A = this chain, B = another copy of it.
Amino acid sequence: MITIKKVAQLAGVSTATVSRVINNSGYVNGKTRDTVESIMREYHYVPLDSAVNLSKQESSTIGIVIPEIDNVFYSEILHGISEVADENGLSPIIFDTQNNAEKEARALRLISRQRVRGLLLAPAVDYAKTSLGKELKDILTDLQIPVVIVDREADGISWDSVFYQNYESSFAVAEALYHAGGRRMAVITGDLKLKIGRDRLNGFAAGLKLTGLKLRKDDIYEGNFLEPMAYELSRKMLMKRSLPDAVYTCNNRTSLGFLKAAGELGIQVGKDIGLMGNDSLRILDELGIPFSCAYRDTAEMGRIALRLLLKRIDHPDDPREIYRMPFSIALRGSEKKLS
């Protein structure tokens, strides 16, 4: 490894001068600068981040913790984050927790050693409720690092956040299904222990209420945002004697589980039963499979989250900001029941 000391030696100057050249700070004679620069180029000198970080007391990495890296939704968010990180010369350290609280704890502990510039966090744990969550919150608070919570809303969090209009979008889905002709609706919820799960259910129920409809208790299927559960619940629902007119599936995985079950049972979505999801499944559109849903621009959500973090880093004392990602409604045919 070639160090600043060697560069200085080869250029016949002190390390201070080399450092000035690197950082474009202080006074440096043009000729000296040229010499130093050519030496650096010749020897492929690259300053060592850990040394720079240590002396400058800051780093150029950001921490990112997400619950499912292999879910399109999150990988699109990562795409957006990566873009903004690239624009700003930041290195993203990414942890995939697979919705596992212990993994999340390990990730945060690793992050806390890195003195990252800031943290983007989509928690798997409800920080207000579980004891591990509380401990993690302490770790983060101690860190004194800017944090932006992404997507997963939870009680008792006081950091900047980029959330989704969970309630509003669900409300809109209810209206859309009503306008498509649905009268008896069912819903496969997400994890109701999470605020996001409750919001989506409540928004949907409220939307129905406005149209004068009521959500029957036994038309509420309590899921967990994951496919296997959604699949099982869908089978249960679809094998009953009387089907609802339309179903609301609360996230992309839930929608997938439903579609799979419906497909297997020969029930045609958009004909035998109406369906709307929340979160798009781009691939379905591409394949021309009708799938109506409320959705948001996920990559943009990542961009916004990181930009918010950067803003917070520059202005640590501004009041807390909560951005509510707006939704769009895509009607592609699956919302209707024709028969």
Which B residues touch A61, using CB under 8 A? 93, 114
Known contacts A93-B92, A109-B46, A299-B70; A289 and B287 CB within 8 A of each other: yes
A328 at the interface (CB under 8 A from B): no
A19 at the interface (CB under 8 A from B): no
**Contact pattern, A 1-43, Cβ under 8 Å of B = 1, otherwise 0:** 1000000000000000000000000000000000000000000
Bound form: Cα–Cα A118–B249 in Å = 42
The total of chain A residues at the interface (CB under 8 A) is 61
Q: State the oligomeric state as a number of copies.
A: 2
Give the dominant DSSP class at A's interface.
helix
**Contact pattern, A 130-164, Cβ under 8 Å of B = 1, otherwise 0:** 00000000110010100000000000000000000
A184 at the interface (CB under 8 A from B): no
Bound form: Cα–Cα A113–B47 in Å = 6
A256 at the interface (CB under 8 A from B): yes
**Contact pattern, A 274-298, Cβ under 8 Å of B = 1, otherwise 0:** 0000000101101111000000000
Segment with Cβ contacts to B, from A74-82, A193-201, A206-214, A307-315: A74-82
B286 near A256: Cβ-Cβ < 8 Å: yes
B299 near A287: Cβ-Cβ < 8 Å: no
Segment with Cβ contacts to B, from A51-59, A216-224, A316-324, A331-339: A51-59
B93 near A93: Cβ-Cβ < 8 Å: yes
Residue of chain B at shortest CB distance from A112: B46
* Extra inter-chain contacts (18) besides given A50-B114, A91-B93, CB under 8 Å: A44-B139, A47-B113, A48-B113, A49-B113, A49-B114, A50-B51, A52-B113, A69-B75, A69-B82, A70-B72, A70-B76, A71-B75, A72-B72, A78-B94, A86-B96, A256-B283, A259-B287, A284-B287
